[in-house]
Structure 1
C-alpha cells in the first residue's frame, strides 16, 4: 500500500493519490496557516475509523441477510497534549442504522468490527480508546 503527496499551493494544501489513482485533498484551517481546501490529517483519521468500521459492519450484516435501508455514522475525537503534539485519546463513534435488522446482529457487528476487524481502530489502539454506540431504527442499543 502506497500513497503519494503533491503540494498544491504555497501553504498547506496537498493532493494525495493512492496507487489506484483516487485523490484526496488535505489542508489546514486558516487559523493554522491553511486555506481550508480539504480535511485536516487528523480529520482523515476519524474518517478512516468511520469508513473502516462501516465496511466491516455492512459486510457482516449482509452476510447475515439483514436488510439495511440507511447507515450513517458520527465520529468525534478527543485529543490530549503530549509535548507539542495532540494525538487522539478517545474516539467516540455512533452508528445510525435503519432497516429490517435484528438488534443482536447490529450490536454484534459493531463489536466484531472494533474488537476484531477494523484495521484503522486497531492501529489507533495503543494510544486511543474507541467507544461506540449503535442506534437501530431510532433505539439506542445496549453495548
Structure 2
C-alpha cells in the first residue's frame, strides 16, 4: 500500500493519491494556518474508522442475507494532550441501520467488526478506546 502527497498551495493544502489514482484533499483550519480546503488528518482517521467498520458490517450482513435499506454512521473522537500531540483517547461510533435486519445479526456484525476485522480500529486500539452502539430501525440495540 502506497500513498503519494503533493503540496497544492503555500500553506497546508495537500492532495494525496493512492496507487489506484483516488484523490483526497487534506488541509488545516484557518486558525491553524490552513485554508480549510480538505479534511484534517485527524478527521481522516475518524473517517477511516467509519469506512472500515461500515465495509465490515455490510459484508457480514449481506452474507447473512439481511436486507439493508439504509446504513449511516456518526463518529466522534475525544483527544487527550500527550506531550505536544493530541491523539484520540476515546472514539464513539453510532451506526444507524434500516431494513429487514435481525437485531442479533446487526449487533453481532458491529461486534465482529471492532473485535476482529476492522484494521483501522485495531491500529488505534493501543491508544484509543472505541465505543459503539447500533440503532436499528430507530431502536438502540447495543452500546459498548
Does TM, scored on the shorter chain, surpass 0.5? yes
Task: State the match for 1:60 in structure 2.
Answer: 60
- TM-score norm. by structure 1 comes to 0.99
Match for residue 106 of structure 1? Answer: 106
RMSD: 0.6
- Counterpart Cα distance in 1 of 2:40 and 2:139: 32
CA distance in 2, matches of 1:78, 1:118: 20
Give the TM-score of the pair, scaled to structure 2: 0.98
Q: CA deviation at 1:53?
A: 0.1
Query: CA-to-partner distance for each residue in 1:49-74, whole Å, 9 max, x for gaps?
Result: 00000000000000000000000000
Deviations 1:59-110 (A, max 9, x none): 0000000000000000000000001000000000000000000000000000
Counterpart of 1:81? 81
Aligned residues between the structures: 143
Distance in structure 1 (CA, Å) of the matches to 2:64 and 2:82: 43
Q: Which runs of 5+ in 2 are unaligned?
A: none
Aligned equivalents of 2:78, 2:2: Cα separation in 1: 28
Question: Deviation of residue 12 (structure 1)?
Answer: 0.1
SS of 1:112's equivalent in the other structure is: helix
Q: Output one character per residue of 1:16-45: Cα deviation in whole Å (capped at 9) or x when no partner.
A: 000000000000000000000000000000
Distance 1:99 1:116 in 2: 25
Shift of residue 10 of structure 1?
0.2
Distance 2:115 2:43 in 1: 22
